[in-house]
Amino acid sequence: MACLKTLHKHHIKAQGIGVDGNPTTIGYAKATTPIPTHLQFLCSDILKKEFCIPEGDMMISSHFIYHFKEEAFQIFLQQLHTSTLKHVIFSELYRSRIAYFLFWCFGRIAPISKMARQDGLLAIQRAFSIPELENNIYHSGIRNYTVQKKPWFRMLAILNLHR
């Protein structure tokens, strides 16, 4: 939503599709999105082989790829070759013992739910390391990409899919 607002502020016409596998999340997004909007919502399980990447120029994924097992992530990356996408951005956590420990400590004192604490720890455990992400991208056949380390145990992967 923020990306679309920024583009429209600069008079750049754009449309977006928000994808989530949870119907409750999609319902919340629809209910809280101001009207009029250039944003559609799709309830679909991106982890399934049958998932079809929506047509578009760019895909932005934030804090999601840790849900993939390595083989399924490879299949997803290979699907990018047949999509209409030109650019893909992954903004993700990277696996780190320090991040796990800090989140574990923070989770004990912060007012977050038990489920959120468990999900955060699981996300850190299952996240790809930077070399693992680079290896997966390279082995999918994508050659024009960068993976940058960011503060707070985050990484930004930018894939350029020239057609």
The mean pLDDT of the chain is 86
Domain count, the chain: 2
Q: Are residues 65 and 30 in the same domain?
A: no
Query: Three-state SS for 142?
Result: coil
- CATH number at 87 reads 3.40.50.150
Domain residue limits at 30: 1-44
- Structural domain ending residue among the three candidates 29, 44, 59: 44
Q: Are residues 23 and 56 in the same domain?
A: no
pLDDT at 36 exceeding the cut of 70: no
Q: Are residues 1 and 55 in the same domain?
A: no
- Written as one letter, the residue type at 126 is R
Distance CA 96, CA 47 (A): 24
pLDDT at 68 exceeding the cut of 60: yes
Core vs surface per residue 124-135: b (16+ CB within 10 A) or e: beebbebeebbe
Q: What are the pLDDT digits (tens) for 87-96? A: 999 999 899 9
pTM exceeds 0.85: no
Q: Are residues 4 and 60 in the same domain?
A: no
Question: With bands split at pLDDT 50, 70 and 90, how would you rate the model's confidence at 163?
Answer: low
